Chains A and B, each alone.
Chain A
Amino acid sequence: MKLNSRQTEMLEGRLGWPSQIAMRMLTAVGSAYDADALIPVGSVHLGISGMSMAEPGMRFLEKLVAHKAAFVVPTTLNILSMDRDAVGTVPAIRADEDVQLRIARASETLGARPIYTCNPFVLGIAPRRNESVAWNESATAPYINAVVGARTNREGATALASALTGYTPNYGMHVPGNRVGGTLVEVTVPVSGADDFNVLGGAIGRAAGANIPVIEGIERRPSLDEWTAFCAAFAAISPLAMFHVVGITPEAPTRAGAMDGAGANQAPVKIGAAELASERSRYETARGEALDVVAIGCPHASIDQVRAIAETIGSRSIDPKISFLIQVNRDCAERARQTGLAQKLTAAGVTLLADSCVHVAYDQIPEGRTLATNSLKIAYLTASHNVNVHFGTLDDCVQAAVAGRWLGDSAKAAELARG
């Protein structure tokens, strides 16, 4: 791999330890993927969950601060393992919260913007077309590559190295030839709304296998809420960071434009009502009507989604046995407070949480309890924690929370089966 003079200076430690350790990570990863060069990145989205980084990660960031390091490109921060407003309310997790707060403080000192969300797109934060970036949080990668037409790999600790140096190895999604579609998928049933697009994302992630899917049959450009629901589910099920929707996403003006010549002639994998119903039922691990926790907001809900939940609840209240959580970004929580929406939801028994995520929360759902969610990603991930899962639509989840028991999604299943 060829390095320019600045990159060489960094690697040799002439610009200090922080850019040296970062450059060692980037050159090692580049060498493992046979990258020809390190290329500039326009921005970084950095994962800093205390659950992942723990005390050694905290000490590493604090060492960077002690060495007077600073991020050299605009850097935003992903979720925390708790809501900053709730710190101290559960004594058993206080030590972990301290670690997370020190990680957050160090990241901010290094220059990161503290948005603490897995869904920067609802804040209007996104790269430019064809721009290379290094973004953490797997759900953001398909949105950036497919919907925006910018370029990122599914990043881990290397995103921190990119923030410190402004570079990433030129491999994977940064190389145009690796973005070509491989599996043709035809959606044969109308899909509408975030819940439909969420299930579709899982089904297409599964159908695609190891090849980037090229999707036909989507009749209109999805809304932002539909896209983010689709991308989160797609990234949960598939290791890929890219898809194409013919006539809609920027690198797929036509089928032939998104695939190579031979690929465009293949018979499509068809996704219809039966495939969507099968995908949905796959995550249903709970039996019966028991229900303890309802979790909405993976990825973080938009203010429109929060308002829709309040409207569905109407003048009713959440059953007092049920813990009903909506995860949002801090800006959305503030707007809900300013408009009185948050107060209305609180009075109805809803907990609006900012900064965090059900999946990486220190205060976890106890084993053996039953969770209902409208997020395929949470349904998929939570099952491995020995939590029983009901996977339904947003409406299914709200109605169940009010009733205090799971009412089933039989209406939806019947509708899908009829096609």
Chain B
Amino acid sequence: MRTIALAGQGVCGGGAEGTALVSDVDLALSLIDPDTGVIMQPAHPLRGQSVAGRVLVFPNGSGSSSGSYRLLHLSELGKAPAAIINNQANAVVVAGAVLGGVPVVHKVSPDPVRAIRTGDRVSVDAVSGRITVSRDGQ
């Protein structure tokens, strides 16, 4: 087991843990299926995967401002991500995260979309901005 420490700026919410789901492509929250948490965004590398309970890592939000209410919707159904890590969080992600009670950390160093891999165990503290990544193997 190997652990990596990352540091960023906590934007909202408290602490959370989960398995990472990582992409280096911007994500439109409005294109997540509200009932299942599955990403529907055309041509997105994570299309078809569910965000439910995952620590979702992507560079920046994109697309419609209705994505904020989508995060509230997912949260009510228990399908929201456990936490969101961005390079830069936009207003759609942040407003939705407050509504849905999802912790957000951004401006993370080293670059989280490279340092964190899908499947890693990730612990997020959105108050201090500290992120701990655990990975099996060397």
Contacts and interface: CB of A to CB of B under 8 A. Distances in A.
Interface of A: 21, 24-25, 28-29, 31-33, 47, 49, 51-57, 59-60, 136, 138, 153-158, 161, 384
B91 A57 contact: no
From A49, A52, A55, A154, name the one whose CB has the most chain B CB atoms within 10 angstroms. A52
B54 interface: no
Question: Nearest 4 A-B pairs (CB), nearest first?
Answer: A156-B65, A52-B66, A157-B68, A28-B12
B63 to A, nearest CB: 10
Contacts of B12: 24, 28
B47 to A, nearest CB: 14
A32 B92 contact: no
From B11, B75, B94, name the one whose CB has the most chain A CB atoms within 10 angstroms. B94
Contacts of B20: none
A57 B95 CA distance: 13
Contacts of A49: 66
Contacts of A31: 9, 11
B49 to A, nearest CB: 20
B55 interface: no
B34 interface: yes
Interface of B: 9, 11-12, 30, 34, 42, 64-69, 72-73, 75-76, 88-92, 94-99, 104, 106
B95 A25 contact: yes
Given A24-B98, A157-B69, A158-B68, 7 more contacts: A28-B97, A31-B9, A31-B11, A32-B89, A32-B91, A52-B69, A156-B91
B69 A56 contact: yes
17 contacts: A21-B99, A25-B98, A28-B11, A29-B95, A32-B11, A32-B88, A32-B90, A32-B106, A51-B66, A52-B30, A53-B69, A55-B73, A56-B73, A156-B66, A156-B67, A156-B68, A157-B69
A21 B12 CA distance: 12
Contacts of B68: 156-158
B94 A56 contact: no
From B67, B75, B91, B92, name the one whose CB has the most chain A CB atoms within 10 angstroms. B91
Contacts of A136: 65
B11 A157 contact: no
Contacts of A55: 73
Contacts of B94: 25, 28-29, 32
A156 B106 contact: no
A155 B72 contact: no
A47 B90 CA distance: 18
Contacts of B92: 156-157
B64 A52 contact: yes
B16 to A, nearest CB: 16
Contact of A158 (B30, B89, B91, B104): B91
